[in-house]
Amino acid sequence: MTGTFGPGKHDYGQTYYGLTKNSRLRDNNPADALAAYLVIGWMIVNDVQDARAVTVPMAQGVRAQSTPLLAANPQLRTHAAQVGEDLKLQTALVQGGWQAAIRDGKLVAYRQGINALFKQQYHLDLAQCTLTSRGFSMLVPHQLLLGSNSLEAVMNL
């Protein structure tokens, strides 16, 4: 990925903006960045390659689920800007990896790897989630972030 996002290369902020511009997820908000990361992860794991399949209400539903999770954690609130930027970078990286996996014929393995990543980081099996206008149907707030240090560990806080 350093070949893609290294010095003098592509700006991950532009990639993130391209991924979120039609979702009404804001560029400078950590809850929006978490929502974008979760949505792109869900798209990869469930092989949803048409971005139009994720509607604005779906993206906003995930954002509505993400906001109280971040707000409930004082450590994350203290480092909100860093958390948001780290999540934006992770979103761009997994999307870049997805495109490379499609190009290189390694999509099945990549999808499995991303699902394993979300299971490890967030205790969330994205293959078992359904994305609706209210967010993820299987996402229970205490499952993700609350009562664990998973996001702090990912963000190195």
Q: What is the pTM of this model?
A: 0.83
Query: 36: closest CA among 80, 72, 96, 88?
Result: 88
pLDDT, one tens digit per residue, over 69-122 is 888 888 888 899 999 999 999 999 999 999 999 999 999 999 999 999 999 988
Q: How confident is the model at residue 137 (pLDDT cuts 50, 70, 90)?
A: confident
Say how far apart CA 147 and CA 155 lie, in whole Å: 16
Give pLDDT, residue 154. 41
CA distances from 138 to 62, 112, 117, 127, 142 (A): 11, 19, 17, 10, 12
Q: Which two tokens stand for residue 12?
A: 């991950």
Give pLDDT, residue 4. 52
- Residue 91's SS3 state is helix
- E-strand ranges in 15-66 read none
Give pLDDT, residue 9. 58
Contact between 137 and 68 (Cβ < 8 Å): no
- Residue 154's SS3 state is helix
